[in-house]
Structure 1
Amino acid sequence: MNASVTEALGRFVAETPWEAIPEAVRREAPRALLNHLGCALGVAQDDAVRSALAVLRPWSGPAVATVYGQGTRLDPMSASFINCVAGNLLDFDDTHLATVIHPAAPVAPVALALAEAREYSGREVLQALLLGMEVECRIGLGVSPGHYDRGWHITSTCGAFGAAAAASRLLGLDAARTAHALGLAASQSAGIVENLPNSGKNASMGHAARAGLLSALLAEAGWDAAPGAVEGRLGWARATGDAPDVAAMAGELGTRWEVSRITYKPYPAGIVFHAVIEAALDLGVAAEEVAEVVAEGDALLLARGDRPVRSRGDARVSIHHSVALGLVRGRAGVAEFEPAAVDDPALAAMRSRVQARLDASLPRGAARLTATLRDGTRRVALVEHPTGSEARPMSDAALEAKFRDNLRLGGFEDRADALLAAVRGLEQAAGVGRLAALLA
């Protein structure tokens, strides 16, 4: 490969026409957008979203971009920041399991905000969304798993590249300018795993969207970056991980589509905990019968989920809480990860009877539970492909049901039909005005 990764991705984003994207891949754009918007509107009243709006509103530039569910507009970078936070807040968003990136949250807000400000068509928005998500997944794949293992929050770090790619496409930047935008994003990429259970994650997520948009606008204005900013000897990938897998980043562009591997969550928890939840449900025993549960999974599951549960952020990434929900409540909806559930004595008691163990033979996303009952008998449940995984994808009907449930949580159920129609018809829409009006 003669071109650098940065240059190859820049060319891919700038020169890939809508018609060259396979129909099956194009189909994921409205699905990803619908899922993102539902997740975001479901938390429109959350303190994290409202406080971000209160902080940014006094400093906002021209109010031309809608903040989801808030009845107001801000400048595109501020709106993108808040909308990204909202889309990712519940850990209910989409997932690229190979990297554990949640692709839409940093990218969709930028595409919508820029389209609203500069009047791009619905098809252009969907194309930018797909290309942006593809770029962030490609870059993430090239640094996995070492990047995440070092403590970098990969959705935040790679989200900046996805947002930059989407904005560059909408702005009509050529290949060279788009490569510069990606290189500029490399200098702003940030986010740490240590902050996942608290507001630090929200800050790096919102920053990813805002930084990506800023990078594209700076590139449009003539700013430049090194050709090897992503994978060079002193570039982003080597600074934040091991030697990058260049082929994973830029091989078979336009032929192998990572966005076709994106999945959608049926539970508002970290993706690797879904198998834990379903294995607990599959055990088929009452919590009071259980003396102890051993939960086994790969290194990522244990590294992320073997933790004390003190907050809803902890609960969403907890092996112990996931087991307890399956056994005590028999469900894992949004309410099951809120403070009241964290403080529930029955759930806390069950969490204390769960042990986590490494089984490196299990693939990422799988889990095995062995329950020892009070009478000495044992029950075992293994889930390798939970609901919503690549092997068991969510149908359009299931995604719609999830969307409606989220709108009900946020108090927007009366807009569900209109929003569904607007998203489904976006490819034919001359602009995003109708969708933005419904989101306001």
Structure 2
Amino acid sequence: MTQQDYAGAALGRFIADFPADGFSPALWHEGRRSLLNFFGGALGVAQDPAVATALKVMAPFSGPERATLIGRPEKLDAMGAAFVNCIAANLLDFDDTHLETVIHPTAAVAPPLLALAELRGFSGAAVLEAFLIGAEVECRIGVSVSPGHYARGWHITSTCGVFGAAAGCARLLGLDPAQSWTALGIAASQSAGLVENLPSAAKNVGMGNAARNGLLAALFAEAGYGAAPAAIEGRLGWARAMGDAPDVERITGGLGARWEIARNTYKPYPAGIVFHAVIDACLELREGLGEVADILVEGDQLLLDRGDRVLRNERDARVSIHHCVAVALSRGRAGVEDFSLAAVQDAEVAALRGKVRAGLDASLPRGAARVSVVLADGSRRVAEVRAPRGSEGRPMSDAELEAKFFANGGSAAQAEAVWGLDRGASVGPMMRLFAAR
């Protein structure tokens, strides 16, 4: 195999050599949208016990340099800040989604970039460049092993997020193509995360590690560490060790011309992306609905695998077909409070959850759903949604993204700083706006 044949070599050249003026205005703007959505999600849970616990665990081991924790007065070193801010961004399942892979691109990539830029004085434009490069690498590696990777039990946002974080940090540090290739190889040995753990706090650790370990991989590459040339696609490399023969063309084909991150989408509801069509269908059916006897939700295998589950806590609720149906039909909404423990324990919601069944319809595309409601009088009402709110077919506008940001506790000054990120000589002033006083 020649150097030209390795996936890591092609990605290394892309990371290091893609020109700063090569990003289209539309892609540049999509990067800003992703970051605004990221900051809003992290702000909304800044005081959550899961975030506080992560901070408590990391703080005693933090080095002397200090980076901002979003929505909090404390600071940590770059590794710790990347870890905690990643957890916060992903905690409510309210972050962005690349639907084909079900990767949440920004949560693992943005935190190490922001911490590194804050501590080393990189410009906002450099951060935005690095984010787009990192998120693209993350999604391309993800599509090369989808859908088998996720179906096999690997939490793809964590397992591929470490590659995105490594790629973005390599770009920000100015690593050359060989060093950038090495950073990805080092990241391959630090990729982990299990779908089985998604309803538990163990998910948080996997996410935090993706952000932190990606930064670590880039720093080791900068310092001269090495990695195997085919660490991603080799016979004993990352992809095959996790069970898949990767589609290398999906990694390398059209690099810099066709962008996976341009397909990023944003959530109007704090639940898994595949449940948004279910929620929209129920909101459509709710008007004038009488007493419900039975509810059938149909979708593809991923919808069933992800959401046909026993409900035990609020984490389960955010990835539950039954709970999404129950809150949308009974409350006419699906906001943050509707996926809380109080909502899980609500008697009316629980009773309606018990009437929900899930069934497979393989003809429905990923992200689509059909909801059929049988009423007590025997009549039946059906709604099918193929392009839910926030999807590629029905994207959220800038105004809707801002409204979501403000609902999560963001201010007009903070939003203005994110929209103008690329005009800042450093990210320091923006990060100070996001530090709680």
Moved more, 58-67 or 337-346: 58-67
Find the counterpart in structure 1 of residue 341 from structure 2.
Answer: 339
Match of 2:419 in 1: 424
CA drift at 1:300: 0.2
Alignment counterpart, residue 92 of structure 1, candidates 73, 77, 94: 94
Partner AA of 1:203 in structure 2: V
Q: How far apart, CA to CA, are the structure 1 residues paired with 2:52 and 2:74?
A: 12
User: Could you tell me which residue of structure 2 aligns to residue 151 of structure 1?
Assistant: 153
Out of 34, 37, 61, the residue aligned to residue 35 of structure 1 is: 37
Which amino acid letter does the alignment assign opposite residue 423 of structure 2? Q
- Between the aligned partners of 1:168 and 1:330, the Cα distance in structure 2 is 46
2:182 is the counterpart of 1:180: yes
Give the CA deviation at 1:287. Answer: 6.5
Task: Give the alignment's TM-score, normalised by structure 2.
Answer: 0.98
The answer for the alignment partner of 1:435 in structure 2 is: 430
Match of residue 238, structure 1, among 218, 237, 240: 240
1:6 aligns with 2:8: yes
Give the distance between the partners of 2:166 and 2:214, measured in 1 at CA.
4
Give how far 1:3 is off. Answer: 2.8
Q: Deviations over 1:108-144 (max 9, x none)?
A: 1011000011100000000001111000000000000
Equivalent position SS for 2:399: helix
Identity of aligned residues (%): 62
Residues 165-314 of structure 1 aligned to structure 2 (within 5 Å):
165-285=167-287, 289-314=291-316
Identify which range, 275-284 or 182-191, moves more after superposition. Answer: 275-284
Residue equivalent to 1:317:
319
1:285 Cα deviation from its structure 2 partner: 4.9
Of 68-77 and 311-320, the range deviating more from structure 2: 68-77
Contact 2:97-2:105 at 8 Å conserved across structures: yes
- In structure 2, distance between residues paired with 1:7 and 1:71: 41
Query: Separation in 1 of the partners of 2:415 and 2:353?
Result: 39
Structure-1 residue corresponding to 2:67: 65
Tell me the secondary structure at the aligned position of residue 355 of structure 1: strand
CA contact (8 A) 1:285 1:327 kept: no
How big is the shift at 1:64?
A: 2.2
Any conservation in 1 of the 2:286–2:332 contact (CA below 8 Å)?
Answer: no
Q: How far did 1:425 drift? A: 1.4
Q: Is the 8 A contact 1:165 1:181 kept in 2?
A: yes
Question: Structure 1 residues 295, 305: closer, same or farther in 2, change over 3 A?
Answer: same
Partner of 1:101: 103
Mapped to 1, the partners of 2:352 and 2:128 lie a distance apart of 44
1:136 corresponding residue in structure 2: 138
Q: Deviations over 1:155-200 (max 9, x none)?
A: 0000000000010001110000000000000000000000001101
Distance 2:128 2:6 in 1: 27
Once the 2 structures are TM-superposed, how far is the Cα of residue 73 of structure 1 from its aligned partner?
Answer: 1.5
1:370 counterpart SS class: strand
Distance 1:277 1:47 in 2: 27
User: Which runs of 4 or more aligned residues in structure 1 lie more than 4 Å from their structure 2 counterparts after TM superposition?
Assistant: 285-288
C-alpha distance in structure 2 between counterparts of 1:39 and 1:374, whole Å: 40
Residues 216-258 of structure 1 show CA distances to partners (whole Å, capped at 9, x for unaligned) of 0000000011111011111101111321111111111011100
Q: Is structure 2 residue 56 aligned with structure 1 residue 54?
A: yes
Looking at structure 1, the residues matched to 283 and 300 of structure 2 have their Cα atoms a distance apart, in angstroms, of: 20
Q: 1:369 aligns with which of 368, 371, 375?
A: 371
Contact 1:286 1:327 in 2 (8 A): no
CA distance in 1, matches of 2:434, 2:194: 30
Offset of residue 286 of structure 1: 5.8
User: What residue identity is the alignment partner of 2:41?
Assistant: C
TM-score in terms of structure 1 length: 0.97
Give, in whole Å, the separation in 1 of the partners of 2:191 and 2:55.
Answer: 22
The letter for the 2-side match of 1:392 is R
Residue 389 in structure 1 maps to residue 391 in structure 2 = yes
Q: Which runs of 5+ in 2 are unaligned?
A: none
Q: Map Cα deviations across residues 256-295 of structure 1 (whole Å, 9 max, x no partner).
A: 1001000000000000000000111111356661100000
**When the two structures are aligned, how many residues end up with a matched partner?**
433
Indicate the larger mover: 144-153 or 12-21. 12-21
Amino acid at match of 1:84: C
Residue of structure 2 equivalent to 1:410: none
The residue type equivalent to 1:21 in the other structure is: F
